[in-house]
Structures are given as structure tokens and as C-alpha cells.
Amino acid sequence: RNNDFFLQSRINAKDPQELVLVYSKMTLANLLFQPEPKRILIIGLGGAVLPNRLHDWYPEAWIDVVEIDGKITAIAKEFFFLRESRQCKVHEEDGRLFIQSQRGKEKYDFVVLDAFKSGSIPYHLKTAEFYSEIRDILAPGGVVSSNLYGKSNGLKPHDSVTFSSIFKQTYLFDDPDEIATVLHATDHEQRWSKEDLERSAMKIVISKRIPLDMREVVAMYRPGKYEETP
């Protein structure tokens, strides 16, 4: 639109297992807080990188992906190796309506917000009311992870404050080049220090459960950034 270019997803066709975009790695920092997710909800399919990797690494986990645009699902299947299964399903629906429909049902360990229109997040997926609805379907110890996009999102401080109004703890990850920002929110009573995150990362590395060095992810943790009231 207007000659603007927004990169929504990318894979290495010769090695689809590779996490090419740095935001994908930062999103998977949710594993630091909950390394054994059983139920996962992802709002926004894109190139299916996150559901594909989580399905590979946690084949017993239940993964619901919500994508409002059927054309995106078709593209993901044709070009990005999307594999639906009994455990991993794509629902063609508005993400907020889907979350509202899950109230009173089995709760999710992860809720990942990765929905975009061009270079911005749909506004109805950025409100305190919406985050409260997510909290209602989040399991104890669960994590909400929100892709806040890159430099084009000038509302990151506001996003952070809104999350903090609903969840007890928020953690921001930003890559050195400021290409992407990902926020993670939990209702843990105790705030985790960077040393806590490093210890969790080391446990994951030692377990060899996933082919991602979580120590590199922890290095992108930015305590205090965007957290001040704008």
C-alpha cells in the first residue's frame, strides 16, 4: 500500500527449521517462563513459523491458530510448509471473537499475539479490555506474548503500560538493531530477574529439547525499556 513494504514472515526454504526473523526467537522467550506448554493459542498465522516450530518441538501440545484471512492460510500451506493435524488447527475467525468463545473452557499456557494489518496491530487487539479477556483464558503460570513490531510502532510505551494495567509482570525483549520488540506478560507474584531468566535458559540448553540457544534470547531482554508511563 502506497509503495510501503512490510515484512510479515520469512523462512529459509532449504532449512524450514531455521528461525530467520529475530522476532520469532524473542517470541519463544515464553519458554523461559513455561518450558512445557500443553495448550497454545496463536492469534495471526503469517507464514506459520511459530506454530510449525512449536508443533515440531512439542508434538503432544494442543495448538490453536486463529487467522481471519483465508488467503493467508492458503499461502502458508502452499509456500510456508504449514501442516495442520489433530493437534494443530487453524481457525478462520477474528482473534478477539475466538478468545471470547474460549471463556469457561480449558485454559492456555501460551497466548501469542501476532496479528497485523500492514505495519500495525489491529486496534481492537490492543485494548485493556482485550487483555482482560486473554487473562480469563490463561492457565496458572501462563504467558501472553505480543509482537509489538519494529520502528514503525510508535505506541510501544503505551502498549507496555496497557499490558501492565492488566498483568502483574511484563518483560520486554528488543534486538540490538531494534528491528523488533516482543512483550511477555505473566501473573507471577514474583518478578523474574535477568539472572532468573539466564538460569531458565541454561536448563533448556542442557535439556536439548529445542534447537534454539535460549541464552541468546535472554541477551535481548531489555528491563525498563518502554515501561515508563508515556
Q: Which of 64, 94, 109, 114 is catalytic?
A: 114
Active site residue 109: no
What does the angle CA 145 – CA 162 – CA 116 come to, to the nearest 5 degrees? 50
Q: Are 130 and 103 in contact (CB under 8 A)?
A: no
Q: What are the DSSP calls for the chain, one per residue?
A: -TT---------TT-TTS--SHHHHHHTTHHHH-SS-SEEEEE--TTSHHHHHHHHH-TTSEEEEE-S-HHHHHHHHHHS-----SSEEEE-S-HHHHHHHTTTS--EEEEEE---BTTB--GGGSSHHHHHHHHHTEEEEEEEEEEEESTT-TTHHHHHHHHHTTSSEEEEEE-TT-S-EEEEEE--SSPPPHHHHHHHHHHHHHHT-SSS-HHHHHTTB-TTTT-S--
Place of cell 501492565: 164
Cβ-Cβ contacts under 8 Å for 192 (sequence gap 6 or more): 33, 169, 171, 200
| Residues with catalytic function | 114
